Amino acid sequence: MTALGVMRAWTVRHWVVAALSTAAAAVLIAVPTAVLPNPWFWREIATPGWAYAVLGVVALLSGLVAATYVRAPEGPGGRRASAGAVLGFFAVGCPVCNKLVLAVLGYTGAMSWFEPVQPFLAVFAVVGLGAALRARLRAAVACPTPAMGSAGPLREPTPPGL
């Protein structure tokens, strides 16, 4: 079975988790970065057009990675997914609205150093999340989780004499 085959074999539960996680990631990134206009946060710099596409891809990949944890939370890919989501947050955020960036670089530094780097952060975010999804799906192909129905979960053998 291929990685795509694993996704084709997902249950409704997997796809519900993927959809809800995608929506949650989109809101959790778009609201505080003010990519989605809201009364709580605002931008001093207009949102670049590419930020909307990055937001969509990062949210979608985050949702798909989250769906790989429905049955078996252990496995590869977790750190890459976390790093990709954080990079996606910084990639689409307003460079002078981010308190961390302002504290480290100041207003001028944020505009002259951080803003030009944001498209690269976006690429790293998408690549990191894509690598995490690939690792999780490959792990599912290489070591499929047994069905929980008849045999139950796998357990460590009990040492003799216990």
Sketch the domain layout of the chain as residue ranges: 3-142
Supply the pTM of this predicted model. Answer: 0.72
The answer to whether residue 88 scores a pLDDT higher than 60 is yes
pLDDT at 148: 35
**Binning pLDDT at 50, 70 and 90, where does residue 79 land?**
low
Rounded to whole angstroms, the Cα distance separating 159 from 33 reads 54
Query: What are the residues whose beta carbons fall under 8 Å from the beta carbon of 68, sequence distance 6 or more?
Result: 75, 77, 133, 136, 137, 140
If you average pLDDT over residues 90-99, what whole number do you get? 78
Over pLDDT 70: what percentage of the chain? Answer: 81
pLDDT of residue 28: 93
- Cα separation, 126 vs 85, whole angstroms: 9
Kindly report, residue by residue over 100-152, the tens digit of the pLDDT: 777 888 888 888 888 899 999 999 999 999 999 999 898 887 776 554 333 44
Contact status, residue 136 vs residue 65, Cβ threshold 8 Å: yes
